[in-house]
Amino acid sequence: MAEPVRIAVLASGGGSNFQALVDRFNRAGGPQGAVVGVIASRADAGVLRRARRAGVASAVPPPQAGEEETAEFLLETLAAWRSDIVVLAGYMKLVPERVVRAYWGRIVNIHPALLPAFGGKGMYGGRVHRAVIEAGTRITGATVHFVDEAYDRGPILCQWPVPVLAGDTPESVAARVLAVEHQILPAAVESLAAGIVRLGADGRAEWAREWFETEVFTNREG
C-alpha cells in the first residue's frame, strides 16, 4: 500500500481550518493521509493549542528572523516532517519564493472570497468581508488555489459561492464563509493527495476525468 500523504499546515490564527483538516485526515477510517505538523507564524497563535490537543507537531520560526532565515526554517521543518503537501490555512505572511518553488504544485492556500476578486496584499480577515459588503456584491465565497510568489494569485483549484444578505456585517459574512472553508479545504486537499487534481503543464488546475464521474455529477434524474 502506498504511504499515506503527509500534510503540513502553515497558519497564523485560531486554526479552525487546521482543525477541519485534522478532523478529516487524522482519524480511523479517514482518507489516506495525515496532518503531520503545523508551523505558526507567531508563538501566541491559537492554532498551537489545537495542535497540542490533536497530538500534531508544531513549530514557530524565530520572531526576528529575516526572509532568508525564515525560508531556511520553513524548508528544514517541512523536510523534517517529510511533508508531501503544504496547506496555508490563515497564514498571514508571504511564503518565501524558495519554499514555493520547493513545493510547486503541492502547496495550496484557502482565501475567504471568490478570487481573483477581493484578494492580494492587505486583503485578509475582516478586511476582505468589509470590502465585499462595501462593493455591494451579492455573492462572495471561498477559494482554494495553488500558491505562487504573490498573495492570492496562483492557479485556482476550487471555489464555492456564499450569498451576501441584507444586513450582513463583516462578522456575519465571515462566519458563513468560514463554514464553507471547512468543507472545501479538506475536500481539495484530499483530491490533491489522491492525485485527482494537479497543477497542469499549462499552469492551471487540472481535474481528472474520474472526478466528473463521481455521483456529484452523475446522480441526476432522467
Using CB under 6 A as the criterion, which residues of the chain lie in contact with ligand GRF when the complex forms?
11, 13-17, 89-90, 110-112, 178, 181
Minimum Å gap between C-beta 10 and ligand GRF is 11
Q: Is 125 exposed, middle or buried (0-12, 13-18, 19+ CB in 10 A)?
A: middle
Minimum Å gap between C-beta 148 and ligand GRF is 16
Residue with Cβ nearer ligand GRF (39 or 89)? 89
Q: Is 145 considered catalytic here? A: no
Residue with Cβ nearer ligand GRF (68 or 171)? 171
Residue that is written with C-alpha cell 476550487 in the block: 158
Minimum Å gap between C-beta 24 and ligand GRF is 14
Minimum Å gap between C-beta 201 and ligand GRF is 28
Active-site residue, selected from the candidate residues 111, 129, 145, 182: 111
Burial 144-179 (b: 16+ CB within 10 A, else e): bbbbbeebbbbbbbbbeebebeeebebeebbebbbe
Residue with Cβ nearer ligand GRF (92 or 102)? 92
Q: Which residue is nearest to ligand GRF (CB)?
A: 90
Residue with Cβ nearer ligand GRF (36 or 144)? 144
Q: Name which of 76, 83, 173 is nearest 129 in CA terms.
A: 173
Reported for 196-202, long-range contacts at CB under 8 A and 24+ positions apart, including other chains, are: 197/157, 197/158, 198/105, 199/104, 199/105, 199/146, 199/155
Q: Which residues are catalytic?
A: 111
